[in-house]
Amino acid sequence: MNKEVWKEKQKTCKERDFRFTTVSDLPVKPLYLPDDIRDFDYDKKLSYPGEFPFTRGVYTNMYRGRLWTMRQFSGFGTAKDTNERYKYLLKYGQTGLSVAFDFPTLYGRDSDDPFSQGEVGKCGVAIDTLRDMEILFDGIPLDKISTSMTINPPAAILLAMYIVVGEKQGVPAEVLTGTIQNDMLKEYQAQKTWIYPPEPSLRIITDILEYCSEHVPKWNTISISGYHIREAGSTALQELAFTLANGLTYVEYGIKAGLSVDKFAPRLSFFFNSHLDFFEEIAKYRAARRIWAKVMHDKYRSQNPRSYLMRFHTQTAGCTLTAQQPENNIIRTAFQALAAVLGGTQSLHTNSMDETYALPTERAVKIALRTQQLIAHETGAANTIDPLGGSYYVEALTDELEKRTYEYFDKIDTLGGVVPAIEKGFFQREISRSAYEYQRALEHKEKYHVGINIFEEEEGADIEILKIPEEIEKNQIEELKEVKKQRNSAKVKRALKQLHDAARNGNNLMPRILDCVREYATLGEMCSTLKEEFGIYHEPIIF
């Protein structure tokens, strides 16, 4: 049959009363054909896995060689509680650790800070000093496992604590593997965990890049994160474009600080969301790899092929989970996890069904982990590399996302770059607008969410909920007092003074932070010291 004849025939068919678009509102045709990917040059657009521009994957043999790392983000209560949860997850086959810190830790405040009241150990583990980190990794050999830490303004301090725990275990910093998130740009745009203004924050980040390239060479120094941009309400396209723009900004700051791009760029890694729209997500990962490789090669003249590799972690979309009919979340998460695998992720976190109520129970988190193991060992999805490569639809979507990303790059350039665009509220407004649009679309039933605006049920959910005992805060504060009593306060004072001096005179902060950590200076003491020099950030209010 002739193509045009088929198209005419299709137009006469009955169609569901629905606006056919992706979840991010890109138009979707009824059928994709060879001419949707016209001028398709296989070698230029796709090439082979592990080969430029890496559209099909960053490694030659992908999951046939080694499966993705199954890394559940986890932390609650005290370091001891979380250490037990890690051992539980490792026992059931998890292959990497990922630390969730409580809010005070994320903001560089101690458990006894007035602002920490009610928050200690609630949505992550409470860390005040090196002592807590020693307990957190007790019995977990740091030379055998990689650890990701979701930490931003105080990233240098938590990394320093990890390095010192390694020293105490007899593991030198050169062999440590893992990641700190350390992505401040997306904090100002979306996640909103900040301490200092953008410029000093970027200075701390370049200090970390410099220090690690010498002393902790296997560490991923920034995890450039689209996850939070998406959770804050962006579209897939905005997640992709803003994350890449942020990544390229770190490259520019590194170069400006006098570092050679090929020395630090190979240690940059990425972190994406996996949302509801299966094919759009897969196309997003493929486009991301291609754009990163091209820009690093063409614009930054990188010579080291490892600088071209966009290695990324994926987490399924927390914002898509529903409090209504929570068991459905298991299924949602499974589809999202499969999209991440088909998109070639290097590691994966699967959300638990109960997370719209509280942090997950052991049972819920085990089902989430098992979901990944089912994909890995039962579905066959990991048997061949980039199985959707060559799909007319997926390739067309990949091209479309790539094209529109460059359009966003141009817009950001006209605003003067990422930092000025943050100061003008550009990203914040874009994200808020998309969040509002999506909510409006749901309420007008232009988009569906099962249990929310279709197939709703009256009765509430009856599931087990994890409870964080209120005594944790009191106990943690007691422990902190005890550590302060035992340490040598003259040495702490001296180390903090030297940190302050380094902040002022521009020397790399990492060696001074390591000294403070070794003397059991608290997280809050170190951050307050830096605040004196760097000041604090105030957000323009936009809604």
Partner 1 sequence: MDKKIRILIGKPGLDGHDRGVKVVAAALRDSGIEVIYTGLHQTCESIVEAAIQEDVDIIGLSILSGAHMTIFPKIINLLKQREAEDIIVIGGGIIPEEDIKKLNEMGVKKLFTPGTSTKEIIKYVKSIVQKT
Residue closer to partner 1 (CB basis): 131 or 449? 449
Q: Which of 6, 18, 20, 115 is in the footprint of partner 1 by CB under 8 A? A: 115
Shortest Cβ 479–partner 1 spacing (Å): 20
Phi, psi of 470 (to 5 degrees): -65, -25
Give the x-and-dash track for 175-194 against partner 1 (CB under 8 A): ----------------xxx-
Distance from C-alpha of 397 to C-alpha of 343, rounded to nearest angstrom:
13
Which amino acid is residue 474, in one-letter code? Answer: K
Nearer to partner 1, 473 or 515 (CB): 473
**Closest listed residue to residue 111, CA positions, set 70, 77, 61, 67:** 77
Cβ of residue 88: shortest distance to partner 1, in angstroms?
21
> Distance (Å, rounded) from C-alpha 319 to C-alpha 448?
14
The correct pick among 169, 356, 373, 475 for binding partner 1 (CB under 8 A) is: 356
Q: How near is the Cβ of 346 to partner 1 at its closest, in Å?
A: 27
Site string for partner 1, 305-334 (x = CB under 8 A): --------------x-xxxx----------
Partners of 71 in beta bridges:
96
**Contact region with partner 1 (CB under 8 A), list: 41-49, 254-262, 267-275, 355-363:** 355-363
Q: At what angle do helices 523-534 and 510-518 cross, to 10 degrees?
A: 150
Is 32 within 8 Å of 347 (Cβ atoms)? no
Q: How far is the CB of 468 from partner 1 (least distance, A)?
A: 7
Helix axes 79-91, 362-377, angle to 10 degrees: 30
C-alpha distances (whole Å) from 390 to each of 20, 213, 397 are 22, 38, 11
Q: Which is nearer to partner 1, 255 or 442 (CB)?
A: 442
**The binder of partner 1 chosen from 233, 343, 360, 524 (CB under 8 A):** 233
Question: Contact at 8 Å (CB) between 102 and 132?
Answer: no
Contact pick of 5, 13, 490, 541 for partner 1 (by CB under 8 A): 541
Site for partner 1 in 432-451 (CB under 8 A): 432, 435-436, 439, 442-443, 449, 451
Report which of 280, 374, 382 is spatially closest to residue 20, judged by C-alpha positions. 280
**474 is an interface residue for partner 1 by CB under 8 A:** no
93: left (phi over 0), alpha (psi -120 to 50) or beta: left
Q: How many angstroms separate the most distant Cα atoms in the chain? A: 86
Cα–Cα distance measured from residue 136 to residue 159, given in angstroms and rounded to the nearest whole number: 14
Q: Is 258 in the site for partner 1 (CB under 8 A)?
A: no
Asked whether position 371 contacts partner 1 by CB under 8 A, the answer is no
Instruction: Report how far residue 181's alpha carbon sits from residue 527's, in angstroms, rounded to the nearest whole number.
Output: 17
Applying CB under 8 A, among 363, 452, 483, 511 the residue interacting with partner 1 is: 452
Contact residues: partner 1, CB under 8 A: 103-104, 106-107, 109, 115-119, 122-123, 191-193, 231-233, 319, 321-324, 355-359, 432, 435-436, 439, 442-443, 449, 451-453, 460, 465, 468, 470, 539, 541, 543
